[in-house]
Chains A and B, each alone.
Chain A
Amino acid sequence: MELVYFLIETIVKVGLVFGVLMGCVAYLTLAERKILGRIQVRYGPNRVWPFGLGQPIADGIKAFFKEDVIPAKADKPLFVIAPMISITAAISLFAVIPFGGVIEFFGREVSLVIAKLDIGLLYVFAIASLGEYGVVLGGWSSYNKYGLMGALRAAAQMISYELALALSVMGVLMIAGTLNLVEIVQQQAGWHWNAFYHFQFFPFIFYLICGLAEINRTPFDMPEAEAELACGFNIEYSSMKFALFFMAEYAHLVAVCAIATTLFLGGWDGPFNLPPYLSWIWFVAKTGILVYFFIWQRGTFPRLRYDQIMRFGWKFLLPLTLANIFGTGLYMVLTG
């Protein structure tokens, strides 16, 4: 009987998270266009329903009904699988992210996370780098030189920044002593946020920069680089396959922000305690602020050049994140 309850509970949670996430992704496209519009002295979408609220739905319908073109010389199986890999990886990340405390539900203790994995953070990095395969394979399989260059850039960027990304959270791991994301959040309860309480502010910034590179956004949108590569890896994609890449990018963006919230900003812990069944509000609010920052900086920065990104990753971020490990070690020894 316990197994049935567990299955029902998990299925409901998966459905809920998936639904909310997809809704977020859809409306994130609208939010991005609206916020960028605000920055760029224009309106953004405002034709479909009040404030353009129907725009994501309209876009979705349009993407579904567009002709799906597969280039004659493309590697068809890979070409089809690539966007699936991207979107699957991006969504799977949410399996281990805790978005609230433990609540009482029909006499059952339900914790607001899909899987309380002991190797949660390891899982996150594994799945996140899997997502890059979608980009690499998509660009490579489309038989297009621009796509190929986008794929090569994606591969190079992935290796360089994945390293710095993993190293930037080492400090948090050392302090927490666990890879379980739920426990990491619980340790930060009561304003003991890693970013401020344990002097992990700079790693937090490094994490955000690497996160930008990880999800290929300006100023690190090398695989896409609209100006020189004319959309890079997704140049040959159309219809829903293109939309899947797009959704994967936004889902990944939300995931990166959610992980940052979990690791550095205390997860569902807030300035004052809400009842457990409302604790997700803090989590959503913090993630939302980070997402806003990611959109905001897109309206501000030009794009870096490929070699500069590589240099920045290897010569600047990597040594600093390494130094942070030593710094954190020193801090732990000194404070006991």
Chain B
Amino acid sequence: MALPVVEKVSRTKIKSKQLYWALAVLAVIFVLLILLRNYNPEAFITSISGLFFGYVMQRSRFCFAAAFRDIFMIRNTAVSRAVLLLLFLTSFGYALLQLLTGDTLPGGGIIYPVGFHTVAGGIIFGFGMVIAGNCVTGCLMRMGEGYVMQWYTFLGLLIGSVFGAWHLGWWGPNIIERSPTVFFPASFGWPAALLLYLIAFILLYLLAIRYERGSLQSIKPGSWGKINLLNTTVNSFRTIFSGRNWSYALGAVVLSIVSVLTLYFWGMPPGVTSGLTHMAGWLSCQVGFLQCDWYYFQELIYFESTRVYLEHPLLYLAAAFVAGSFFASLLHCEFKIRPVKSNKFIVSALVGGTLLGYSSRVAMGCNFGGFWSGLGSFSLHAWVFGLFILIGAYIGGKFFMRYLL
């Protein structure tokens, strides 16, 4: 069947006023940050970190959902390998902080029990991520870019968080409190833990290339000597200021730096869903859906901050994340209100979001705090969570091809 021939693509520069809007948004962000500084100093720090996360994720199109899903759905591991780089740099960055300051980990790390809740949470999270089309950070990023679908996912996230936090009253005493916590450096010492990580990342990286290309022939160790670090750095800075898309690798490097700096300045690694849970939980007890004395708020509150509900620092990180992405998309004239294509995607966004929210509570974190920061904190739970997200994404991919394509 002959399709319409595409007109010669116009390369004229697009006239757009979005740049001015970007400057206005930046001004508003500055004013809000100044107000926040005295009102809630912790949220001041996490907000700055959220702005950077949102900006960098938008520019580099970094996507945890793709890292898991593309392996099965299009046999591509480009994003997966970037996530491996991100995890490698983050964990070695956290270890360096620990080495320099001596009291960062384990006290300030995301080191949680690993057990059946991690397995169940991982599978549900992986599945939800594929049918929603994004992970939790991807959802926040797209909300800032004007995707209406992700606002439905966000609504689902809030609903799922409330039910997840409520059900922790069962998961907590029955599963989580009976599960062991494994912090690698405490088990084997720092040198062995770092070596273990290094070997794991190299093996996973090679495995990803082998899986995608059928062989390792594309790796030519001889060419590594020709990599000029100075040129790479200069080119990276050029990309950052040129308005081009950042490469996934550049995104991974900058995101890991922001993560390490957040740990340094805030004292905790970044995350996001617990902040959303505090908001959703607060809202639900305002409307009288449930009492506020759930297990989640009573027993697990000490993990991140003494500031709770609407003052939770990670809630500010989430809001700043959306703002950072909104600013980045305006600055590059990419903002557009994108309506949802069909009702079926509204349902998949809502259901996927709810599953993401619920599983984030059960597994004690999403792809951000639970997986990325948890893995950086040398906790076994993050590896197990990641493995079962992978299995969930595989099942989700099958479902997607059958019902959503």
A-B complex is real:
no
B interface residue numbers (CB < 8 A to A): none
